[in-house]
Structure 1
Amino acid sequence: MRRIVAAGLVAICGMLGGDPARADWVPPFKGNDTGGIIAYSLAQQVDARQLAVNHCASYGKVVKFLAVDAQYGGYISFSCRWVPYGTNERPLRTLY
């Protein structure tokens, strides 16, 4: 019985050891209702401003860009803010 348990444990450890841990992978566009990040490599291919505007408009907010790390592996960060006082209209979503 001990040999079967030991063989099963070795097999399970071998399967788990061969599977890569994707802990360092982040999608090129990630966000929620407070803001998000856009990979700089994606921003070179598409209009990053339009991605951020559409994302924030889906929550009824407007976009405010915070920082740009313009290098390989860098990100563009933005926040989603409530519509400023004095405006009567909601943010518009564009067709992209």
Structure 2
Amino acid sequence: MRIITAASLVAICGILTGAPARADWVPPFKGNDTGGIIAFSMATQVDARQLAVDHCAYYGKVVKFLAVDPQPGGYISFACRWVPYGANARPLRSLY
């Protein structure tokens, strides 16, 4: 019984070492209630501004773009801010 357990443990470890960890992979759009990033390659295909506005409006906030790295592998970063004082209504969320 110990030989079978040891052999299966060795086989499982061999399979797991051959699989990639994927620790460096980031999705093309990632964000939370404080902001997010959009891959520049995705931004050339879709409207990145509208994507960020919809994302922040989901949390009841407005978008502020922070930086653009316009090269392959670069990102567009944005922050979600509270609605400024004096605004009459919350941000509108568009249907997509």
Q: Provide the TM-score with structure 2 as the length reference.
A: 0.93
Counterpart position of 2:35:
35
Runs of at least 4 residues off by over 4 Å: none
Identity %: 82
1:6-60 per-residue CA deviation (whole Å, 9 max, x = no partner) reads 3122111111112221111111000000000000000000000000000000000
Equivalent residue letter for 2:81: R
1:2 CA displacement: 4.2
Equivalent residue letter for 1:66: L
| RMSD over aligned Cα atoms | 1.2
* Residue 52 in structure 1 maps to residue 52 in structure 2: yes
Equivalent residue letter for 2:23: A
Structure 2 alignment gaps of length 5 or more: none
Structure 1 alignment gaps of length 5 or more: none
Distance 2:35 2:17 in 1: 36
With 69-78 and 3-12 compared, the bigger mean Cα shift is at 3-12
Q: Provide the TM-score with structure 1 as the length reference.
A: 0.93
